[in-house]
Amino acid sequence: MSFSRKRAKEIFDTVLKYSTAQETEAWISNSSYALTRFANNIIHQNVAEEGSSLSVRAVTDARTARASTNRFDEASIRQVCENALELARLQPPSPDLLPMPGPQTYRAVNRFDPQTASLDPQSRATTVKTVIERAEKDQLTAAGVCSSGSSAMALFNSRGLEAFYEDTISEFSVTMMAGTSTGWAKKTATSFGELEPEALAESAARKALESSDPKEIPPGKYTVILEAAAVLDLLGFLFFDFGGLAIHEKRSCLTGRVGQDVFGANISVRDDVYHPLQSGPPFDGEGMPRQRVELVERGVVKNVVYARQTARKTGTEPTGHGFPLPNEYGEAPMNLVIEGDKTSRDEMIRSTADGLLVTRFWYIREVDPYQKILTGMTRDGLFRIEGGQIRGGVKNMRFNQSVIEMLRQVEMMGVPQRAAGEESFEMVVPAMKIREFNFSSVTKF
């Protein structure tokens, strides 16, 4: 379907025509997404899908509930409005429920690239072809995904709030496989032209070649250089802990630590949807404008984020980080930016007498939510560093490491970049050199 602010407003006008709730809210979204998947050096799948949805939230007598549909004819809209109100009447009253917010002003962000939105399968196939040719050059086997798409969302309510946002997204990820080793690289961007697939393929290929016949080393504490994807997938387990409700309910590892030195003095973190490398709308799940929030300054936890209900409960102001209601989570920062430095990866390697270079982690699980101890394994490129040089591949290892402790032991950082992993959402993070990172056991591959 054609989707625009005008079309979204037409749908909401129909919602208001049939909703008899005291207050009514509507989330309206449309997405168009396509991907080309390849493995064994051939393209084996091309998928394209388009979907739309309407989610209506009704409020009556301090009760609220939501119902959804993917049909926009009048009968379906009428039905979803009736369903939302019926569900709301079945809920217990919520003493924390606030009136819906009225009209808001949003800072403009431009994250829509027309060429990415209209990218065709042939363009993706041509991109994949160059990557496969790079693999075949060194008798490697390539697998991965090349994707592109666009989305739009609108949030309207019966108190006059109107919010609209559209963007595009593209992704390229590749794994290069040799006989005894693999290499991996991934990037996402608003514009397909920013992905640099040939550079990603080269990086993945070099890692597969240079880590062949990996050697086993004993577990223990090592100095590690974590590439940005590895940093991201660990820090993703911290983001809910910066929510005001999590701290209020003592579910956060930061409970009782706001205002204290928690991380190293070289660690500063903010939530900043307006950063040029970030993505997402400038409003939250209730339509409140997202604010830039300094979360950590030089190791000190300065602030956390608040949805409207949590802010009222704790006597502060909302920061525009709430999720659509009703929900059990409250809020969280979704646009993390970790400050870095200008140290290159090669400089980190040269400064390391004995250590490991980690491409990425996978299968990460939380062991202790209050100490933020995580476990997981390395993957697709683990290298031994000796005398300031890479000396070959190492068999993958399992780690057990507190993220809080890790962020007290950062010795060097690279330039912050938009990073993409497999365990967390995209962030702007630097590569990090970290001392005494704990590996608990070895694997056989």
What pTM does this model have? 0.95
Q: Which residues contact 212 (CB under 8 A, 6 or more apart)?
A: 178, 179, 180, 181, 393
Is residue 97 a contact partner of residue 322, using CB atoms and an 8 Å limit?
no
Residue entry with tokens 């990415």: 116
CB 23 within 8 A of CB 99: yes
C-alpha dihedral (81, 82, 86, 91), degrees to nearest 10: 0
User: Coil, strand or helix: which one is 3?
Assistant: coil
| Confidence (pLDDT) at 11 | 98
End-to-end CA distance of the chain: 48
**Topology annotation, domain 5-198:** PmbA/TldD fold (3.30.2290)
In the chain, the amino acid numbered 382 is L
Q: How many CB atoms lie within 10 A of CB 405?
A: 17
Please check whether residue 309 is in contact with residue 286, taking contact to mean a CB–CB distance below 8 angstroms.
no
**In which element (H, E) is residue 246 found?**
helix 244-248
Q: Between the CA atoms of 280, 282, 283 and 284, what dihedral angle is there, to the nearest 10 degrees?
A: 40
Q: Is 98 exposed, middle or buried (0-12, 13-18, 19+ CB in 10 A)?
A: middle
- The residues, any chain, with a CB within 8 Å of residue 267's CB and separated by 6 or more, are 296, 298, 299, 338, 339, 407, 410
Q: How far apart are CA 31 and CA 445, in angstroms?
A: 40
- CA dist., res. 215 & res. 395, Å (int): 6
The amino acid that residue 40 corresponds to is N
* Pairing outcome for strands 397-402 and 389-393: unpaired
User: Burial level of 259, CB count in 10 A (0-12/13-18/19+)?
Assistant: exposed
- Phi/psi class of residue 84: alpha, beta or left (left: φ > 0; alpha: ψ in -120 to 50)? alpha
Which amino acid does the sequence have at 206? Answer: R
- SS3 of 135, please? helix
SS3 label, residue 333: coil
pLDDT 10s digit of each residue in the chain, 445 long?
A: 468 999 999 999 999 999 999 999 999 999 999 999 999 999 999 999 999 999 999 999 999 999 999 999 999 999 999 999 999 999 999 999 999 999 999 999 999 999 999 999 999 999 999 999 999 999 999 999 999 999 999 999 999 999 999 999 999 999 999 999 999 999 999 999 999 999 999 999 999 999 999 999 999 999 999 999 999 999 999 989 999 999 999 999 999 999 999 999 999 999 999 999 999 999 999 999 999 999 999 999 999 999 999 999 999 999 999 999 999 999 999 999 999 999 999 999 999 999 999 999 999 999 999 999 999 999 999 999 999 999 999 999 999 999 999 999 999 999 999 999 999 999 999 999 999 999 999 988 8
Q: Cβ distance 427 to 235 under 8 Å?
A: yes
pLDDT of residue 2: 60
Spatial distance between the Cα atoms of 76 and 61, rounded to a whole number of angstroms? 25
Given a contact cutoff of 8 angstroms between Cβ atoms, the answer to whether 23 and 56 are in contact is no
- For the chain, the residue count is 445
- Find tokens 């979704």 and name the residue: 334
Residues of CATH 3.30.2290.10 domain(s) within the chain?
A: 5-198
Spatial contact of 173 and 163, defined as CB atoms under 8 Å apart: no
261: Cα within 13 Å, side-chain hemisphere: 5
Residue 248 DSSP SS3: helix
How far is it, in rounded angstroms, from Cα 89 to Cα 82? 11
| CA–CA distance, 425 with 431 (Å, rounded to integer) | 16
Residue 129 C-alpha from the chain's centroid: 28
